A = this chain, B = another copy of it.
Amino acid sequence: MSKWMNYIIKEGSKENKLTKKQENILIAAVELISEKGYEKVSTAEIAKRAGVAEGTIFRKYKTKRDLLDAIFIPSFMRFVKPIVIKEFISTVLDKDYNTLESFIEVIVRDRYEFAKDETPLFRIIIQEIISQDYIKEEIKEMFLIDAYPVFTKLIKRLKDKNEIIDVDEITFFRIIITNVLGFLIPRFVLFPDLQWSDEKEINMTIKNIIKSLS
């Protein structure tokens, strides 16, 4: 089981400890939804692959949607939050990652590692962001509440060092997101079978972000 599958299970278990069966349900759901898409997978199918009765899913998750959220939300958080939360950015800035480049590099590589190690979860995240409008609202809100003030500080600091141009917070965010997803979506969702030189792509993504900002 992957590191993050493990994390989701642990997360869920803060409130109610997950049984082995509940674990299997989550694993089966991630596999199937990632392969076929949320709408095309039936709860009966998930139950069958998980080796449990059809009703068992609904003991823990009131609805099918709840089950998806139990997968999507922590995955999404893990993927997005580090860009967004105070602690992460402070840490980065306080450390030797004191330049723009080291900061961007950490972000890109971390996102890449996640998409690579947890491709099924990454696929689910992308599917959901595309099809669920409400998620875009959540992202916007999350950005405004959590990221905006931190970004203000960060931008000021980098600008003081003459490392970046005078950008507003939204543009700063957008440039990073666009470049990261612009690499990871074709790489892991659309054309995973093509020949990719990942290291080269990562470096180019980093450089593009920096160039856009400086």
Contact = CB atoms under 8 A, between A and B. Distances in A.
Interface of A: 35-37, 39-40, 123, 126-127, 129-131, 133, 136, 139-140, 170-171, 174, 177-179, 181-183, 185-187, 189-191, 193-196, 201, 204, 208, 211-212
A57 to B, nearest CB: 17
Given A39-B37, A39-B39, A136-B193, A182 B174 contact: no
Contacts of A129: 190
A195 B182 contact: no
Contact of A130 (B139, B174, B190): B190
A140 B192 CA distance: 12
19 contacts: A35-B133, A39-B39, A126-B130, A127-B130, A127-B131, A130-B190, A140-B193, A170-B195, A174-B186, A174-B194, A174-B195, A178-B182, A178-B183, A178-B187, A178-B201, A181-B182, A181-B185, A181-B186, A182-B185
Nearest to A126: B130
Contacts of A208: 204, 208
A27 to B, nearest CB: 21
B212 A204 contact: yes
A174 B204 CA distance: 14
A191 B195 CA distance: 28
A138 to B, nearest CB: 12
A36 B186 CA distance: 22
Most chain B C-beta atoms within 10 Å of own C-beta, residue among A123, A126, A133, A174: A174
Contacts of A201: 178
A189 B136 contact: no
Q: Which 10 A-B pairs have the closest CB atoms?
A: A182-B182, A39-B39, A178-B186, A37-B131, A174-B194, A181-B186, A129-B190, A130-B189, A208-B208, A170-B195
Contacts of A204: 208, 211-212
A179 B127 CA distance: 20
Contacts of A131: 36-37, 40, 127
